[in-house]
Structure 1
Amino acid sequence: MKKFFFKGRFIFIPLGIAAFVSLAGLAVMGLWNALLPDILHVTTITFAQAVGIFVLCKLLFGFGRGGGRGWGGGRGWMRHKMEERFKNMTPEEREKFKQKMREHGCGPFGHRGSHPFANHNWDDVVDEPLKPTE
């Protein structure tokens, strides 16, 4: 039993988590107490409240699996899978696939894949100077 606790990483994982949460709580408490009472006129918080705020934010906003994902770039494995599938399609299959995606609102400009000005006839626009309004 002694080998299980001290030989492996079992004991270090809970200690590391506790140390990280403690440091994050201290950072939240310090930043809150330094900034928010003067800016938003709120009261100062204790260490326990700061840890609670930190844990709540982690539960609500995620546990940080990397940044910069945005709306379309997050699932790298899915993007790779779709690229492979797209490469193996014939040109007819590609056009059919693109058309289906446009019909389902997955085009580059939203629903039906059309830009609001895509079908506008710009030849009708007259180059006249703007009249000042009064």
Structure 2
Amino acid sequence: MMNRNFNRGRKFLFFIPAAVLIAAVLGYVVMFLWNWILPEVANTGKLNYWQALGLLVLCRVLFGNFKPGGPGRGFGRRGSGMREKWHDMTGEERSRFKEEFKKRFR
């Protein structure tokens, strides 16, 4: 049990520098791509590193979320309730459901 906690703490200590490194690299990638493409295409100004990092965070807030697993990965868990309902339906209930679905979404 003690060994498992030690490994968990070790992984956490590895995660912090890895997350900082990934954020730094992504900031430079955003800055490079923005400064390479957008000033000529859309007549925008150039970004410095901190602006690019802020833009990256803003995009994460607007288009993603801060839940573990990232955006769209929770669908499997939410969809599992419907999957269970589908498996519990009889053949007649399934056919009625399909017909109702076709009527509504044609």
Higher helix share: 2
The Cα of 1:48 is off from its aligned counterpart by: 0.4
Tell me the secondary structure at the aligned position of residue 43 of structure 1.
Answer: coil
The Cα of 1:50 is off from its aligned counterpart by: 0.5
Compare relative contact order (CA 8 Å, sep 6+) and give the higher one, 1 or 2. 2
Gaps spanning 5+ residues in structure 1: where? 116-134
The Cα of 1:41 is off from its aligned counterpart by: 0.9
The Cα of 1:81 is off from its aligned counterpart by: 4.1
| 1:65 matched to 2:70 | yes
Q: State the distance in 2 between where 1:45 and 1:14 align.
A: 26
Q: State the distance in 1 between where 2:87 and 2:43 align.
A: 58
Q: Larger C-alpha radius of gyration, 1 or 2?
A: 1
Identity of aligned residues (%): 33
Q: State the distance in 2 between where 1:47 and 1:94 align.
A: 55
Task: Report the equivalent of 1:94.
Answer: 94
Q: How does 1:15-54 map to 2 (within 5 A)?
A: 15-54=17-56
Assess if the C-alpha contact under 8 Å between 2:35 and 2:46 holds in 1: yes
Scaled by the length of structure 2, the TM-score of the pair is 0.68
Task: Report the equivalent of 1:76.
Answer: 76
After superposition, the C-alpha distances for 1:62-120 in whole angstroms (9 at most, x for unaligned) are 157377x8xxxx72244444334323322343345x17x93xxxx35xxx5253xxxxx
User: How many equivalent pairs are there?
Assistant: 96
Amino acid at match of 1:34: W
Gaps spanning 5+ residues in structure 2: where? 1-5
